[in-house]
Structure 1
Amino acid sequence: MQQFQVRKDDLLRHRLVDATAPQLGDGEVLLAIDRFALTANNVTYGVVGEKIGYWNFFVPLENDDGGWGIIPVWGFADVTASNHPDVPVGDRLYGYFPMASHLVMKPQKVSETRLFDGAEHRAALPPVYNAYGRVRGQADYEPEFDDARMVLYPLYATSFCLHDFFSDNGWFGAGRVIIVSASSKTAIGVAYALAEDQNAPASIGMTSARNVEAVRALGLYDTVLTYDEIASVDASRPTVIIDMSGSGAVLSELHAHLGDNMRYCSNVGVTHWDDNEMGPGFIRERSAMFFAPGHIQKRASDWGPGVFEQKAFDFWRRAAEKSKAWLTYTAVDDLSGAETVFDDLVAGRISPHNGLVVRLTF
């Protein structure tokens, strides 16, 4: 087995580590990871890994100083060995995996369509990350959408949550939403949700000068502005902000410009992770990190078992179909190939209109 590991304090330092696959214990299965997606969302996992716990999902090999970690990814894997009576060899799972060739899992709560990893070190982590779809038992599984499911479903599920959160809160009394880093896939997903909602407020998409024409071509935002046009925003209108950038400079300027009319700001992503120091204009008391698993757990309680998953899946399927107009998938071979593109991803050199899919051949 092989793992792609990064230094927790420096994502640009990484290595491949090889080892022999461990012997399975009672109730365990061995998964061969078939493919996974790489997006800016995975960089966010690394940047906030200590704060939110993303380093705790998967155990890195040969990590004597504790400084190495494994960034989680979304993908597909196949069961190649099994000591579990209800999970046979050949079963195919969709879910949260390490950047690695294999994973030992201890399935629990096994049903026809899903199971949970009951590994002890994952017990305290959010259930949404420990749940895996048994896709061969799912009536709506479409293999031709594997790439879209890996790249877009985790992001569009967050988009769905964001729209639901703001709608549930009456948009905090605002009549306008500003989406920062509007070219990101999660931002585009929010824009799709806004387009489906007749009661949604007007939208401004903010992006860099190099992306402005591509964002305008999407035709999803009512207005598209560059970051150096913040002063042109009408500060008299009550506004909420959905931020995918994590840019301290942009957010501080935007908050200061809007003042009391900045009603609420959700901090979602860190596409500008190297510029995340907030300035004096940033309004902390009306800002909060948005944690999609927390919202999912709330809705699971509100709506009952399986309802959120179906609503989010239906939204993703509609949005994925629309995304064919602008998204291109690029295949990357094996973890060695992932090494060659990872630095570009961290540095923001991968176009948001490109979906990276790592396909393993171990």
Structure 2
Amino acid sequence: MSEFQVKQQALTTHRLVATNEIKDVSDGQILLKVETFSFTANNITYGMMGDRLGYWQFFPPADNSDKQWGIIPVWGFAQVTESKVAGIDVGEQLFGYFPPAQQLIMTPTNVSSQRLVDGSAHRAMLPPGYNNYKRVNNEEGYNPNFDKERMLLFPLHITSFCLWDRLQDNNWFAGQQVVIISASSKTSLGLGYALADDDNAPHSVGLTSKGNMPFVEQVNVYDQVVSYHQLSDIDPTLPTVIVDMSGSADILAKLGQHLGDNLKYCINVGLTHWDEFSASHAAESARSEFFFAPRHIQKRLQDWGPAGFEQRTTGFLADTAMKCRAWLEVKELKGLKDLAQMYEQVCAGKIPPKQGLIIKL
């Protein structure tokens, strides 16, 4: 048994730590065997924002007496191997937020036929959306053929949906064009699909690296594709809203200079360029915000109710997943050792944008 850990203040430093096998749980708990999960640039964002948004608190690491190490959460599937909770059977499968490790103990609360919440004490103050788990075996119309997309895309595209919802709900922040930085990221492409399907959406501009331009142009979801070295191709006379998936202070500064007073609003989301991140550039102001999808989800759950939210998002997630099948290439890794070997490439942004990593334990 082992778990994959990274150094909280030096994300490229990582290690595999041996852990004892858990064979029994207390009353009110279940034991899970993590079976498979995805790993993307989004997981690096979890690490970068670990202190600010509490990501380090979800799964306390083993052998961490110096408090320097952390576990980056991942999205995947796990199977119940031991249960002392009535109504939850051994062999049941859950989808949700897990550690890159073989085992996890949970304390289920708010158990319904469709879902449950991990009520473990150390997770009580963390964002509720991450503590919810789907009971896959009970899902109506569950299709295992979508498992890979569910791990790789659904957690990202729910953010895409929320960004589109935020933009259109605020009348595009008076923008006549939306510039999406790091346009090749899967979250960006999800937003691109949402904008392309919205007849009222402004002109969309996908901003990407020169190397990724052929891929982004091939996907053909943005109205315009521009490389980081050709910012002058973006029309500076149009009122503009930026959705930044990169976290690059340099790109934001240059784009802000190019647009001048026509930069109406900036939504900071991801950190694909996490090594160029500057907290001061991501600080909220009258014309910018740091977008935290779980907060937006909680707002819409209150506005629409759980059934209304599910109704609005389920079709979107399924639709975008089907569209992504035209270009998505899934690369399967076997075990945490393979993840450890690929991890630095993920950090360095060297995974091709069309590729998605799935780790099977």
Please give the TM-score of this superposition, normalised by the length of structure 2.
Answer: 0.97
Offset, 1:311: 1.9
Secondary structure at the aligned position of 1:94 is classed as: strand
Amino acid paired to 2:114:
T
The corresponding residue for 1:13 is: 13
Equivalence map 1:154-193=2 (5 Å): 154-193=155-194
Secondary structure at the aligned position of 1:304 is classed as: helix
Over residues 192-247 of structure 1, what are the superposed CA-to-partner deviations in whole Å (9 max), with x where a residue is unaligned? Answer: 10111110111110000001111111111111110111123221210101111111
Q: 1:332 to 1:305 in 2, by over 3 A?
A: same
Equivalence map 1:229-244=2 (5 Å): 229-244=230-245
Secondary structure at the aligned position of 1:266 is classed as: strand
Amino acid paired to 1:262:
L
Offset, 1:284: 4.6
Could you tell me how far apart the structure 1 residues matched to 2:29 and 2:153 are? 30
Amino acid paired to 2:192:
A
Could you tell me how far apart the structure 2 residues matched to 1:279 and 1:267 are? 12
Q: 1:32 to 1:279 in 2, by over 3 A?
A: closer
Equivalence map 1:13-32=2 (5 Å): 13-22=13-22, 23-32=24-33
The corresponding residue for 2:119 is: 118
Offset, 1:100: 0.7
Amino acid paired to 2:18:
D
Alpha carbon RMSD of aligned pairs, Å? 1.6
Could you tell me how far apart the structure 2 residues matched to 1:283 and 1:336 are? 39
Offset, 1:28: 0.4
Contact 1:74 1:94 in 2 (8 A): yes
Contact 2:284 2:290 in 1 (8 A): no
Amino acid paired to 1:354:
Q
Secondary structure at the aligned position of 1:206 is classed as: strand
Q: 1:9 to 1:342 in 2, by over 3 A?
A: same
Equivalence map 1:311-330=2 (5 Å): 311-330=312-331
Could you tell me how far apart the structure 2 residues matched to 1:310 and 1:152 are? 18
Secondary structure at the aligned position of 1:256 is classed as: helix
Q: 1:60 to 1:283 in 2, by over 3 A?
A: closer
The corresponding residue for 1:63 is: 64
Amino acid paired to 2:304:
W
Misfit runs of 4+, over 4 Å: none
Could you tell me how far apart the structure 1 residues matched to 2:210 and 2:284 are? 26
Q: 1:94 to 1:277 in 2, by over 3 A?
A: same
The corresponding residue for 1:223 is: 224
Please give the TM-score of this superposition, normalised by the length of structure 1.
Answer: 0.97
Secondary structure at the aligned position of 2:314 is classed as: helix
Could you tell me how far apart the structure 1 residues matched to 2:27 and 2:353 are? 43
Amino acid paired to 1:214:
F
Over residues 93-133 of structure 1, what are the superposed CA-to-partner deviations in whole Å (9 max), with x where a residue is unaligned? Answer: 00000111110000011111100000000001111100000
Q: 1:278 to 1:114 in 2, by over 3 A?
A: closer
Equivalence map 1:27-38=2 (5 Å): 27-38=28-39
Contact 2:330 2:355 in 1 (8 A): yes
Where does the alignment leave 5 or more consecutive residues of structure 1 unmatched? none
Further displaced range: 150-159 or 282-291: 282-291
Amino acid paired to 1:273:
W
Could you tell me how far apart the structure 1 residues matched to 2:127 and 2:299 are? 12
The corresponding residue for 2:348 is: 347
Secondary structure at the aligned position of 1:242 is classed as: strand
Q: 1:121 to 1:209 in 2, by over 3 A?
A: same
Equivalence map 1:191-202=2 (5 Å): 191-202=192-203
Secondary structure at the aligned position of 1:3 is classed as: strand
Could you tell me how far apart the structure 2 residues matched to 1:48 and 1:119 are? 22
Where does the alignment leave 5 or more consecutive residues of structure 2 unmatched? none
Q: 1:278 to 1:212 in 2, by over 3 A?
A: farther
Contact 1:251 1:278 in 2 (8 A): no
Amino acid paired to 1:173:
A
Could you tell me how far apart the structure 2 residues matched to 1:293 and 1:186 are? 15
Secondary structure at the aligned position of 2:20 is classed as: coil
Offset, 1:312: 1.7
The corresponding residue for 1:101 is: 102
Offset, 1:21: 3.2
Offset, 1:79: 0.1
